[in-house]
Amino acid sequence: MTCVLFCMSCSKNQDVQPEPIPDIDEKNLTECPGGSSCSFWYNDFTTGYNSYFAAPNANYRMFFAQHMITDGQITTTLSIQAPKQDKSFTLSEQNIKDGRVVVQTGCPACYSIPFKLVGGYVKGINLSPRVTRPSGANKWLLEVKIIREMQTSPVTRDSIFVKQYFYPMY
């Protein structure tokens, strides 16, 4: 009788469903424009990364996409703070507005226009999701669409699109 009561009280909650894996194909990857260099990498962090992502005791993965004009004068870096999931993740428009994505442009001799991120999405899938592999052996595919607008003139909008493989930085 004790076994029957115990077995009946330990059932799984059928209402909890796993998050669906985002649909991303490996076609039409973003190419680096001529006369420039591009890098795509990630790293796992367990504490705050920098002032943009100050999150003590956080457990997340940072993805970086960087585009540099060959002479090295203009660099744009896209930084994405993603949950540390083994197989896939999705960031919503609200996650982007909440600061989980940062776009930084560095140009020592340029006058840049301040933009704020107002929408888009980030989808990522691990193309080698074997639990026995360390994170450094994984290859991720990300599809990123970021919509930003001028802080002083919301009618002026720009978008950034990246679809590429990301490898560990170490």
| Structural domain containing residue 57 | 30-168
Using only the alpha carbons of the chain, give its radius of gyration: 20
Q: Is residue 15 part of a domain?
A: no
Q: How many CB atoms lie within 10 A of CB 29?
A: 13
Q: Is residue 12 part of a domain?
A: no
**Average of per-residue pLDDT values in the chain:** 79
3-class secondary structure, 23: coil
Confidence of residue 3 (pLDDT cuts 50, 70, 90): very low
- Phi/psi at 115 (5° precision): -115, 155
What pLDDT is attached to residue 168? 87
Q: Is residue 145 part of a domain?
A: yes
Q: Is residue 21 part of a domain?
A: no
Q: Is residue 121 part of a domain?
A: yes
Q: Is residue 77 part of a domain?
A: yes
Residues contacting residue 62 through CB under 8 Å, at least 6 positions apart: 42, 43, 44, 45, 49, 53, 79, 80, 81, 82
Q: Is residue 43 part of a domain?
A: yes
Q: Is residue 24 part of a domain?
A: no
Tally the domains of the chain.
1
Structure confidence by residue, pLDDT tens digits, 117-168: 999 999 999 998 665 555 556 899 999 999 999 988 888 888 999 999 999 8
